[in-house]
Structure 1
Amino acid sequence: MLDATLYQSMFTRSPIGAIVLSASADPVILDVNEAFLRDVGQTREQLVGQVLFAVLPAPPEDPDDPYSNGVTALRNALARVLATGEPQSLTTQRYPIRSILADGREVFVERFWGVTNTPVFDADGSLRCIHHVSIEVSARKQAEEALLLSRRDALDAARRAEAERARLGAVLQAAPVGIVLADAGGKVIESNAAHDALWRRHCEPGAAPLDFSEWKGWWADGSARHGQALAASEWPLAAALRGEPSAHHLIEIETFGPSRARRIVVCSAAPIRGHDGQVDAAVVVLLDMTERLRAENALRDADRRKDEFLAMLAHELRNPLAPIMAASELLVHGAATPATVKQASSIIGRQARHLTGLVDDLLDVSRITRGLAVVDKSPLDLGTVVAEAVEQVQPLIASRGHSLALDVQAAPLTVHGDRKRLVQVVANLLNNAAKYTPPGGRIRLAAQAEAGRARLSVSDNGIGMTHELMARAFELFAQAERDADRAQGGLGIGLAVVRRLVELHGGQIAAASDGPGQGSCFTLTLPLAPGLAGAAGEHAPQSAAAGQALEVLVVDDNRDAVQMLGIMVQHFGHAVRTVHTAAEALAAAHDHPADVYLLDIGLPGMEGHELARRLRAGVAGAGAVLVAVTGYGGEEAHRTAVATGFDYHFVKPVKGGDLRLLLRDIAGTRGLGVQERRSAGGIRGRNLER
């Protein structure tokens, strides 16, 4: 049996900290070994004989910290030893140790312990004391927490990386440009939907390296190599995998799949380097430029055709102006013979009509491009439209020595349409055929019913059209490129007007040609109006009774214009007076009311709309016919004229034939009341603009 001295030596020098506590509720330190003193940084004199929790206090417990309960846990364990007489252990208990700094401040150093409290009994079985052993595990605890934190950080990092990868994947797939990633060996890591759609082929990740033996591309950068095929080593991806810096290349590619379409792309590639600077992967980006380049080419082509058109317009406007100016100078000098005067007047009239036609064409194009063109539909026979159109174009056809064959079915081809506009359409097609057919050519017009529609075609054996021109035959300015006979003049915009007018009638028009020198054929179809074959002539204007002259007052501040309009009206057999201001017009109307007032809108002092209101308000104009004669065209000007009391709306220059027919119709209804006259003579507010 070992003696007490040996036991004391073993206790004192044990490498594990230990103390002996009294067996009481508030234990006193009876003995302490050297290892414990080192652990807590105290001396024997400071501890022995002192209450445990007085000399080794812990900081106040934090209810939010699950480890901040060292004093409570140790008290409970000691209480259980006293109550049960059995050892009690505490695994990894946080119990900070108080330390006094050199400046006197008290601090608590966080420490973790593994504690065992063992009861010691006397020979008679009485509890003598408690052997308290504490092993500091602070380093192990910190390592465990660091490992746990590291694992938590690693898990968070993995989650963030996965979320970032998902975001990048979403961006990659949503990108409107083609993107493909390849590893250092050229194998595809990932490609997005835009890339697969562009090439029409799915790039399977991990497949064989891209050697581009199947991929076809040609340089499209306008350089000396333009049009040359790319070698496998020249593809931007291959260059990037070699470590070459990124660059942008314009390349024409051929897609996969049955269609093998050609696309022009901007292709750029860049190497992706690792920490050692070596190329680990590469990224390629492809931007499809096909539609943009086509649009740019189309804009340049349209701009070129516009410039050509403007040059041709200037030429066409100068052509009629030259003879007009020459003839007017001859008449002004007064040395011309009657025959010369008649010839000069004929030239001026003919060239003025030609000039008016050019302006009308431009106005039509303006209205059509702004969506302002309207048609006044009523039942009419397409045969009468053809007859009137042929009558208009016959002089041109005869002057060029063409033969015109007509094949129009005998039964009426009744359609809902605007007579004047449809005559314009057919006359334009005939005029086109006559102009683009060499002298002595053949022109054929056919019209018949077909599957509930009227089908009208105009064909010729003229210069024909290329396929490219046929595709743009109805576009503005496209006709300027046709190798036309410029001696016939014209702006080359008639077919654009024709197409829009046909569409406004619910119809369609198409052009066909077997090529240059093979002639052309234009075919239009219009919906038939069943059961209305006899309605075409129901609204024919009434003829004026012979000798029913009208009193007409012409108002215009332009003295030349009012003089010529007055001469024209007088030539039609009516009495005419002319004035130049609104005040003169009101005075003349008061002294001698007129049947018809031809009023300019842009009058000085009081414009024509106000003059019309005052005439309507007085006795002199209440039952008269008011006709606006103005340079302002379009539907807005027409609506304004109607709102201010005008019955009709003419756009300058006034055509003599239209004015003669209007005055004839008014004369034919002279004995009727105002409302009856308007019902018989036409719709009030009728727009007489072409």
Structure 2
Amino acid sequence: MQTADECRAARLEAPRSDHVGPGPGKTWPHAYGLSIAVMLVIVLVRFSLEPWLDGNAPLLALLLPVAIAAAYGGLWAGIFTTCLCGFLGLVLFLSPLGSLHVDSLADQARLALFVITGLGISVLNERARRAREAAVSRDLEARIRAEAEVRRRNAELERSIAERAAALEASEREVMASLRVARRAEEALRESEAVARRQLAELEATYAAAPIGLCVLDRELRWVRINQRLAEINGISSAAHIGRSVRELLPNIADVAEPMLRQILETGVPQKDVELVGETPAQPGKKRVWMESFFPLRDASGTIVGINVVCEEVTEQREAAAALAESADRLRMALDGAKAGWWEYDVASDLYTWSDTQYELYGHDLKNRPLRLADWRSRVHPADLPEADADMARRTAERRPDFTHEFRILHPEKGERWIHSLGRITYDEEGKLARIVGISRDVTEEKKAAIERLFLLESERAARAEAERASRMKDEFLATLSHELRTPLNAILGWAQLVQRPGIRPEQLAKGLAVIERNTHLQAQLINDLLDVSRIVAGKIHVELEPTQLSPVVEAAIEACRASAEAKGVALRGPPDPARVAVRGDPARLQQIVWNLVSNAIKFTPKGGRVEVNLKQEGEGAVITVRDTGQGIAPEFLPFLFERFRQADSSMARRHGGLGLGLSIVKRLVELHGGVVCAESEGHGKGATFKVELPCEASERSRPPSRLPPSVRANDPRNLQGVAVLVVDDEADSRELVKRVLEEHEAVVCTASSAAEALDVSASQTIDLIVSDIGMPDMDGYALLRELRARRNGHGKEVVAVAVTAFARPEDRERALAAGYRAHLAKPFEPSELVSLLAGLREAS
């Protein structure tokens, strides 16, 4: 049935009678296009018929497109076509042709009639169209109303039928539901009876097999029902319980249990988790513990008719708990004794549980608040936290059940501490981390002790290695020393024997004596180096600093080395224009420094090579440079160059001799002068350069050295003619050597082999100078000098004595001077040095 809205929509869709456009299904472009097309066709036809029409009815044919346009396109299409056709007829068919002007009144009438007719056709056609549309609209509305009424009545009929059918269906459903309810009730009753029987059987089976004790007592506290477990607990069969009272079967607990049971019967208030302690007839003397609950039993009217009892024996649990508590106490005592803290971490809740000791380890400021993983992480040293995380990640990835780890923490009061932590890891059913329990201990002191032990161990290893190295170096040094001492001794001994043979030629004799002299100097230098090193090691070497010009010192050292350079074929060049540089130093030690460097350069420079020595001032320092074209120094050996006993080649096949002491002596002597020494070399075969830098002395305070070494004064023209000299030495060879040297310089020499003989000689002869050894048997040189002075006390000339001795240490020299000797000359000595020294003393006295 059509609704009012549908009827309204149908009326809106019906054509309207006042519409002036094209008819239904037509559009303006179609209407105008068709009118124009028909007009053009008529115009063409009219032109084609013009010869036969001869100007008659010129506009009549044009009414056809007007009619077609009005019929197809409506009023406005008809009007448009009328105007257009009138315009074309005026231009094409009315005289004058091709003009908009009409001369003939007849043609004007024709044009006016055409326009009126066209307009009339358009208007009439529009009215007829509107009448048709109105009729159609009225017919359509009537039809719609009729259809709507039919639909309405059909709907009412269908609704009435549906209502009656629904009522019938409802009645049928109610009947069926009643039947189903009845059947279900019957089935439920049967099922409930079966369930009740099954539950009763299950209850009976559960009651009988329950792992805890169950029983029912009546108001007289007699057993009405009991299961097997409680009978086993009491140690009496189930049948023996029925009808008997608590006091009859369990007299040991009756005094405690009966008052409580009667109170339940009176008040109806249950008692839960009551702990009873006592004995049973089955196990007399054994203390038993039971956990019991009592509930009142009521009938249908609510009257209390008995008591339900639930009993569980917890004797083993209590014993285990006591043992666990005792074990926990022992563990706590052990942890306290070890100062270890206990902790537990629950992953799900992110909560820690710590013991008091654990708080002491990490800081008490973490107490009294929930403790989480972030709190623990905040205490761990940032440098150790990644390793701790990685270690735990590895263990959990491998599902390992335990862990142990050491890390540092930052204690708020104690600072950095070492913690050793170990424990157990628990995982859930999915294998994820669930819980960790462990203990922690402060091992800071142990760590320090371990580090100290490690340090001591490393120190001991280093010391052992150093001792082994020193021992090797000592063995190598002793072997080298033996070689260096034996080699010149062999030459001295060999040539000494050769020159004693009869018939030796003069040139061979001169060569032998030169060899003996050169090797004797070498021996003396080796001994001096050993003594200097001994003083350096003992810290007893010293220098006598005074303002000193370096130029004469450097020149003297060069001259002392020139002979050995010429013998080897090495060109030795001194400073071309030596600067006047003054330093505060010891002239003898400064010459020793230069001599060592120059002789070392000559030793390592092959024949045809060159050694250059330069002296200049750079800023506030003096620089002595010794450069050679020798074999060079390996880069890896440069850091060890100035160490004692170190040689680049210490093998038995080495090409150069020496003890490896010269450069170490140079370094120490330079340091005593406040300077530095360094070496440079580009490698093997490229030579080496040694530089000594010393602080300068103000020029106005400097003066030539007052204590030049013997080599500077070796050629002093001194004469000892007529000087009476007493030579005292217990060694005949030394005594004869001194006598021969002095006699060559015209001195009058007498000798004594002991101090006593010297006293006798001095008493019987006039003596100008005394040359005495120090170490002699019975009376040494010091005692001799004291005795001579005592004998001449106030009588005669003052005793002028020179000590010539093998005791060559600085302290030996100081002792000799303090004892009264005017000079101290160490053996071996240069003969010229002795002559020069005695000549100077003669002049001074």
Structure 1 distance, partners of 2:246, 2:276, is 24
The question of 1:578 aligning with 2:760 is answered no
The question of 1:96 aligning with 2:265 is answered no
Q: Give SS of 1:535's match.
A: coil
Asked if 1 retains the 8 angstrom alpha-carbon contact of 2:743 and 2:749, the reply is yes
Find the counterpart in structure 2 of residue 55 from structure 1.
Answer: 252
Structure 2 distance, partners of 1:374, 1:572, is 35
Asked if 1 retains the 8 angstrom alpha-carbon contact of 2:721 and 2:745, the reply is no
Q: Give SS of 1:95's match.
A: strand
Q: 1:147 to 1:107 in 2, by over 3 A?
A: closer
Alignment TM-score, normalising by the size of structure 1: 0.56
Q: Give SS of 1:114's match.
A: strand
Percent sequence identity over aligned pairs: 26
Find the counterpart in structure 1 of residue 6 from structure 2.
Answer: none
Find the counterpart in structure 2 of residue 388 from structure 1.
Answer: 556
**Structure 1 residue identity aligned to 2:214:** I
The question of 1:116 aligning with 2:313 is answered no
How is 1:204-283 mapped onto 2 (pairs within 5 angstroms)?
none
**Structure 2 residue identity aligned to 1:580:** S
Find the counterpart in structure 2 of residue 554 from structure 1.
Answer: 727
Which whole-Å deviations, capped at 9, do the CAs of 1:4-40 have from their partners, x for residues lacking one? xxxxxx9xx9973466799xxxxxxx64567477644
| Larger helix fraction of residues | 2
Indicate the larger mover: 538-547 or 91-100: 538-547
Structure 2 distance, partners of 1:402, 1:393, is 11
**Structure 2 residue identity aligned to 1:526:** L
Structure 2 distance, partners of 1:642, 1:132, is 125
The question of 1:566 aligning with 2:744 is answered no
Aligned with residue 806 of structure 2, among 628, 631, 647: 631
Asked if 1 retains the 8 angstrom alpha-carbon contact of 2:545 and 2:584, the reply is yes
Asked if 2 retains the 8 angstrom alpha-carbon contact of 1:92 and 1:141, the reply is no
How is 1:277-676 mapped onto 2 (pairs within 5 angstroms)?
309=480, 313=484, 316-318=487-489, 320-326=491-497, 329-330=500-501, 348-368=516-536, 371-399=539-567, 403-407=571-575, 409=577, 411-468=579-636, 473-475=641-643, 476-478=645-647, 480=649, 493-537=661-705, 552-572=725-745, 574-588=747-761, 597-611=770-784, 619=792, 624-625=799-800, 627-635=802-810, 637-638=812-813, 648-670=823-845
Which whole-Å deviations, capped at 9, do the CAs of 1:65-118 have from their partners, x for residues lacking one? xxxxxx6xx699679879x946352414141325576xxxx5223222214386
Deviation at residue 380 of structure 1 after TM alignment: 0.7
Structure 2 distance, partners of 1:573, 1:75, is 145
Structure 1 distance, partners of 2:728, 2:617, is 49
Q: 1:75 to 1:597 in 2, by over 3 A?
A: farther
The question of 1:142 aligning with 2:317 is answered yes
Structure 1 distance, partners of 2:743, 2:219, is 143
Deviation at residue 653 of structure 1 after TM alignment: 1.9
Deviation at residue 643 of structure 1 after TM alignment: 6.9
Structure 2 distance, partners of 1:610, 1:21, is 133
Structure 1 distance, partners of 2:281, 2:786, is 110
Deviation at residue 499 of structure 1 after TM alignment: 3.2
Structure 1 distance, partners of 2:704, 2:260, is 118
Which whole-Å deviations, capped at 9, do the CAs of 1:385-410 have from their partners, x for residues lacking one? 12211221233344455554443656
Q: Give SS of 2:702's match.
A: helix
Asked if 2 retains the 8 angstrom alpha-carbon contact of 1:480 and 1:492, the reply is no
Q: 1:524 to 1:540 in 2, by over 3 A?
A: closer
Asked if 1 retains the 8 angstrom alpha-carbon contact of 2:484 and 2:657, the reply is no
**Structure 1 residue identity aligned to 2:831:** G
Alignment TM-score, normalising by the size of structure 2: 0.47
**Structure 2 residue identity aligned to 1:419:** P
Deviation at residue 138 of structure 1 after TM alignment: 1.9
Q: 1:666 to 1:115 in 2, by over 3 A?
A: same
| Larger strand fraction of residues | 1
Asked if 1 retains the 8 angstrom alpha-carbon contact of 2:223 and 2:242, the reply is no
Find the counterpart in structure 2 of residue 265 from structure 1.
Answer: none
Deviation at residue 447 of structure 1 after TM alignment: 1.1
Asked if 2 retains the 8 angstrom alpha-carbon contact of 1:602 and 1:608, the reply is yes
Q: 1:119 to 1:645 in 2, by over 3 A?
A: farther
Asked if 1 retains the 8 angstrom alpha-carbon contact of 2:726 and 2:749, the reply is yes
Structure 2 distance, partners of 1:312, 1:547, is 40
**Structure 1 residue identity aligned to 2:497:** A
Which whole-Å deviations, capped at 9, do the CAs of 1:331-381 have from their partners, x for residues lacking one? xx7x78999988866664454334323433444444445555433322211
Which whole-Å deviations, capped at 9, do the CAs of 1:411-462 have from their partners, x for residues lacking one? 5211122211221222333334444445454443221100211112223444
Structure 2 distance, partners of 1:304, 1:556, is 36
Asked if 1 retains the 8 angstrom alpha-carbon contact of 2:253 and 2:277, the reply is no
Asked if 2 retains the 8 angstrom alpha-carbon contact of 1:309 and 1:491, the reply is yes
Q: 1:132 to 1:669 in 2, by over 3 A?
A: farther
Q: Give SS of 2:575's match.
A: strand
Asked if 1 retains the 8 angstrom alpha-carbon contact of 2:640 and 2:646, the reply is no
**Structure 2 residue identity aligned to 1:502:** V
Q: 1:515 to 1:130 in 2, by over 3 A?
A: same
Asked if 2 retains the 8 angstrom alpha-carbon contact of 1:463 and 1:517, the reply is yes
Find the counterpart in structure 2 of residue 249 from structure 1.
Answer: none
**Structure 2 residue identity aligned to 1:668:** E
Q: Give SS of 1:388's match.
A: helix
**Structure 1 residue identity aligned to 2:253:** L
Q: 1:47 to 1:530 in 2, by over 3 A?
A: farther
Asked if 1 retains the 8 angstrom alpha-carbon contact of 2:676 and 2:694, the reply is yes
Find the counterpart in structure 2 of residue 87 from structure 1.
Answer: 269
Q: Give SS of 2:835's match.
A: helix
Q: 1:514 to 1:111 in 2, by over 3 A?
A: closer
Q: 1:134 to 1:448 in 2, by over 3 A?
A: same
Asked if 2 retains the 8 angstrom alpha-carbon contact of 1:305 and 1:478, the reply is no
Deviation at residue 634 of structure 1 after TM alignment: 3.4
Q: Give SS of 1:422's match.
A: helix
**Structure 1 residue identity aligned to 2:736:** Q
> Which structure 2 segments of 5+ residues have no match?
1-203, 346-357, 359-375, 385-390, 407-457
Total equivalences in the alignment: 511
Q: 1:370 to 1:383 in 2, by over 3 A?
A: same
Asked if 1 retains the 8 angstrom alpha-carbon contact of 2:731 and 2:753, the reply is yes
Asked if 1 retains the 8 angstrom alpha-carbon contact of 2:252 and 2:279, the reply is no
Deviation at residue 590 of structure 1 after TM alignment: 5.7
RCO higher in structure (CA 8 A, sep ≥6): 1
Aligned with residue 16 of structure 1, among 211, 214, 221: 214
Q: 1:641 to 1:117 in 2, by over 3 A?
A: farther
Indicate the larger mover: 655-664 or 535-544: 535-544
Structure 2 distance, partners of 1:552, 1:76, is 138
Asked if 2 retains the 8 angstrom alpha-carbon contact of 1:616 and 1:645, the reply is no
| Larger radius of gyration between Structure 1 and Structure 2 | 2
Which whole-Å deviations, capped at 9, do the CAs of 1:35-77 have from their partners, x for residues lacking one? 477644478899969699973389xxxxxxxxxxxx6xx6996
Indicate the larger mover: 363-372 or 389-398: 363-372
Structure 2 distance, partners of 1:592, 1:131, is 151
